[in-house]
Amino acid sequence: MLQVRQDALSERFSLQRAAFETQPFPNLDVRKDRLKRLLALTERHEADICAAIDADFGGRSAHETRLAELFVVRAGIHHALAHVAGWMRERRVATSLPFLPGKNRLVPQPLGVVGVVSPWNYPFQLAIAPVTAALAAGNRVLVKPSELTPAFSALLAKLVAEHFAADELSVINGDAEVGKTFVSMPFDHLLFTGSTAVGRQVALAAAANLTPVTLELGGKSPAILDASADVDAAASSIAYGKLLNAGQTCIAPDYLLVPKGQAETVAAKLVAAVARLYPTLRDNPDYTAIVSDRHYQRLRDMITEAGDSGADVTEINPANEAFGSNSRKLLPTLVRNASPNLRLMREEIFGPVLPILEYAGIDDAIDHVNRADRPLALYWFGQDRGNRQRILRETISGGVTINDCMLHLVQERQPFGGVGASGMGAYHGEWGFRTFSKEKPVFLQSRLSGSGLLRPPYGKMFERMFGLLKRIS
């Protein structure tokens, strides 16, 4: 079975490569047609997509799927349809004086065959958003979705096959071994979304083919509560950002920094905010389950280790419900006084568990962020403009939202991507188009050019012209 899937991958890659060679620069109508079919796939099958993801999670809020996946994808496709004509147009670039009256142009050219490896936590959005950018840029695309969401991955393959020819867009399903083969293919660009550890392996595999990569990874994204913050409003935003998809979000707040002496007060505010969002948990369709037994147990082990070490662990259960042994719904959990050597403080949590740490002052908060790997996201809450500017200028992260959580992700007019251990490259909107294009510089020489006067045989005319160049350059 594995060999069959790998053979199918090679066959579809070759099919797309041949198709691209026959149409290396699809015109605007072709690109818009592909985007419209992608939009139709999104709009016509909302219920099926929600049901498949719900089945894979063992309980995934349909409202979260509609908002965080379908709405985000739909907005991205509409934005691309509205702007792709401008993105693909040749751009004038100023020409330096010594080379006038020649002209510079930038021609955005499709790369060829693009590979997209998407994760399980937002399986639709994180597959189709990069596909949107790649198709807008004129490429052919192969997608490898996660094996941890088998119902959705099978549905995606079926829907794509109904809306696209295999040489335009195709889905390859399979296990981790198929995934390893996938990222080893000689793609013209590869986009991977997932963990930092796997991202390193993907980069190594792609390097063998000199395939450029965009890595959308994760890490420990901090939320910082300034002394000037509205604590009630901040607690509400942080609770929502942490518990959306039960914390299984790459840009979820991973831990919270609060001014010294405020951890207990802030924890109480968070408990109240969680109860408002989720007055019940066990049978509440708004509260999502953990995707697998392995991930559930990983989170339980982290919480147990924290409690055994002496940390203050608060499990939030507003209705005091009992949970069956088959449930993968994990209680929202706050952890105070966690030591830095705990797994909870060293690893990306990726679940509804929030450590709360105290800091002595703005310098201490900045130092704490900068001691760790550069995060994918950072959140700051407060009204003090001086402290805000220091956080923005003295820390490095993939993106920032001020006085809320995660909203920088859905801005189609801004790039989204990580930095350092949280990723490389960016997409969304025009930045996605550029990621999957080669911006080819072109110089158009004029008939009136004097460049021939700088060619051999060198002599007095060369010296005069060279002297002139030095004066005007």
- Give dist(CA 350, CA 395) in Å, integer: 22
143 contacts 170 by C-beta, under 8 angstroms = yes
- As a dihedral over the C-alpha atoms of residue 339, residue 340, residue 344, residue 345, rounded to 10 degrees, the angle is 140
Sign, CA dihedral 297-355-245-135, equals: negative
Residue entry with tokens 């994990």: 330
412 catalytic per annotation: no
- Give dist(CA 229, CA 262) in Å, integer: 12
Three-state DSSP at 151 gives helix
End-to-end CA distance of the chain: 64
And the tokens for 259? Answer: 């001014």
Residue entry with tokens 């981790």: 176
Three-state DSSP at 348 gives coil
And the tokens for 69? Answer: 């996946």
- Give dist(CA 263, CA 336) in Å, integer: 7
- Give dist(CA 251, CA 242) in Å, integer: 9
- Strands 255-259, 353-359: pairing is parallel
Catalytic-labelled residue, pool 64, 69, 168, 216: 216
Catalytic-labelled residue, pool 50, 69, 168, 250: 250
250 catalytic per annotation: yes
And the tokens for 50? Answer: 């929600």
And the tokens for 307? Answer: 């409690």
And the tokens for 157? Answer: 């393959």
Of 155, 324, 125, the closest CA to residue 244 belongs to 125
Report, as residue numbers or ranges, the catalytic residues.
216, 250
